[in-house]
Chain A
Amino acid sequence: MKRHGTTSAERMRLLAWLAVLGVILLCPLRSHAYAGPGAGFAVLSSFWTLFVAFLYSVYAFFVWPFRQLFRLLRRRKAYGKAQIKRAVILGFDGMDPELTERFIAEGRLPNLAKLRDEGAFRKLRTTYPAISPVAWSTFMTGVNPGKHNIYDFLARDLSNYLPYLSSAEIKGPKRSLKIGKYTVPLGGPRIRGMRRGTPFWHWLGEAGIFCSVIRVPVTFPPEKFPGVLLSGMCVPDLKGSQGTFCLCTTRTSGDKFREGGVRVPVERDGSVFRSYVPGPEDPLTPGSGDELRVSFEINLDKTGTQARFIVDSQTFTLKVGDYSEWIPVKFKAGVGFSAHGICRFYLKELSSEVEVYVTPVNIDPGKPDLPISHPVTYSIYLAKLFGPYATLGLAEDTWALNEHVLDDDAFLAQCYANHDDRERMLFDALEKTQQGLCACVFDTTDRVQHMFWRYLDEDHPAARDVPRDQRPTVIQDLYARMDELIGRVMKQIDDKTLLMIVSDHGFKSFARCVNLNAWLHQNGYLALKSGKTESGDWFDDVDWSRTRAYTMGLNGLYLNLKGREREGIIEAGPDADELKDELRRKLDGLVDPASGRVGITGVFDCDAVYAGPYVDNAPDLIVGYGDGFRASWDSVMGKVTSLIFEDNLKAWSGDHCIDPRLVPGVLFCNRKIADEKPAIVDVAPTVLKLFGLALPGYLDGKPWSVATSITP
């Protein structure tokens, strides 16, 4: 019987090898100096590494005094008056104060309880609307949306009423060369950030305070500043979308996914199955719809329980229900053009039918084709240190769960794999930032609550068939897990470090959908073309010449204003004001006839809630839905249906895009805070003040009174 470890035969063999090696090494010849390319490479590579390190050391040695002097001069501005040595800000997207209090009371969150008791716990007023890109933009800039220009994930193109991503614009290269039917791009894509305002870490960096910023939303494209930053929410996938998964299947189906995914056929060839991962548009034939692809092959094993995948030159084996690691894929478009991505494969089914889910193809952080960090080498550094990681802004594939392509467990596995990567990044940043700012945002809290609120809600339509005693405690577990993470962070910090836990908004149930376009249509504000009772996506059958108001996105309501919208009919001024008042009066308090509950608890005039140079880009009204309600899936996409209210049957069952007064975020701090009603807009000025910096005059937020020391 073979013992655990090495057998005596193996030991003898090893000893014999060592003896031979020893003799050779003890009787050196010139030929021994080189024993093949392997040894040669090893020697050269390690020598090269040490040589580079040595060269850098020499450079650093000579430059160091000057840098230190320069740093000292700059840092005197900051640390000279600083009340803290380091600020650690952990963002938990969507962490809800009511749930947090409830779980603390149940004893599930000991570390947050400790922070509350020894420091501070407050509800954190959020932005109008309470949407992540809006709130996090306010968090980092310290200004209202009228000054940072982000009002939703989407903004509308006034020339055609179509949506575009509000945070960044990606265009093709400036110059290209046309050769026959091909267009050769001369240069890389052009990326323009749409968020305005200056993140507070820029001010800190300028003052010589080092900052590590990880995955804070709306930081794509990354802006240059003295520190390191990894972009978060709004980073696109390699297709340029906000996440397009792929279901490779042998089943034939004409159904398209509502959004977020594509079906790709799997061709059977004996015991081998072949399919492909769709990639970005072919840059040599822009506008043709031709996409680049990476083919892959699936070989079934004899037992039929697992399959061997061959993707490019990589092979890996998966069992049903297994995810692969991140697999690098290279999309080639002719000589010299290629796009580098990474994706994970999930084997869904292996029976008479074969189904494989492929995550959206993320930008490869080790070989980023688009800048996803500042400096560019930071994403590479993290990839080298921890291996490939999700770079897509919305990395957790909520659409795949919504469309039943993934089940609950597969979705959770994906979420927590991403979360584990983020934790590793955070702890590395904590180690690297012993002085300065370390800010890291975790998205898991938002995605998991969105998708699993149905099990928390007493009577959610999406979980009515799941008995209450069989409902998983996903959200309870989520909060406990975050608490445990906070506990580990607390162990890493000293009493000169400010620890702040913030969320951009809270959460509520999303049980009922409100199609505001349907309401506008039925109440005469939105007109359809003759003979139509419903419209397709993005106002396909809307008669703009008779439409006075419309909605798209999550909370914005727009007037069809003359001179602004392409086919506007409402005169700006008194007419517009009157229409806004009328809409506010009618919508505020709108009751869902089925439940008798109020579906809209507030409608807010943009002139009242925003101020700044970009107010003209804002929706005219912000609709605040009531607890349990949200804009319907169709309404968000500019579709007019016949029903105003309907059940939400999707897994996406919790939401926050409602009346901002109902979904404040959380604020925990390891120091006492005097202010009773802090807001997310105050975070930036508070941190600047704690580091002793003067506050820019245009900030809307007010710094809190924070205790100078930790209460024992």
Chain B
Amino acid sequence: MSDIVISVRNLTKRFGNFTAVNDISFDVYRGEIFGFLGANGAGKTTAMRMLSGLSYPTSGSGTVAGFDIMREGEMIKRHIGYMSQRFSLYNNLTVAENITLFAGIYGLSKQTTEERRDQLLAQLKFSSERDTLVGALPLGWKQKLAFAIAGVHSPEVVFLDEPTGGVDPVTRRQFWEMIYEAAEGGTTIFVTTHYMDEAEYCSRVSIMVDGEVRALNTPTRLKQQFNAGSMDEVFRSLARDAIRGELLI
């Protein structure tokens, strides 16, 4: 297995005359927590969609989890985990049923499904809640469950799209601890967030402005480079230069 889990070169996506993502290149390493930041309209979502096999680039090259980003979108989808900001589990299924359902979608065998289900329930300390309807769980628990389910098929990389919006600080920290634990175990984490303090939890952070990656480094180095006290200042000094931002439809 390679130590580079995501590698993209000159990735570009155009919609008609509009270049949403313009010639971006970067590598993400195994076990890294990679923060993917950008202002509204900077092209983050478009880039994420290409990296997760949901859309093909107009030009460029790259691999995600060992699969070609230009041709093997379907394979990429099977080998990554994804958790969106909108809660994506089924409220009218129980905790155990949700796990079983997603394990089935990812093609796990019956035996593996049962093993993984018990393992996840134990890890989450959710064994007593296995027959609880997901709709009845507090928001923080739902998010932890959604993260665990995003990893049900043991993917090399998990994409988290604004995972902690609206969660209380204690739950948010427990969530980050789960992320650390997964990264420590070798899972690569690719995360977008609007919380600039959360950017500081990441191993490295990239910041997109007007479709380009304008900065990429560890939070410490970025703060040095921009002579800033916090990631919030780094972000604002870059986003202020955005031309398209508000003009984007």
> Are A and B a genuine interacting pair, yes or no?
no
> What residues make up the interface of B, taking CB atoms closer than 8 Å to A?
none
| Interface set of A (CB-CB < 8 Å, partner B) | none
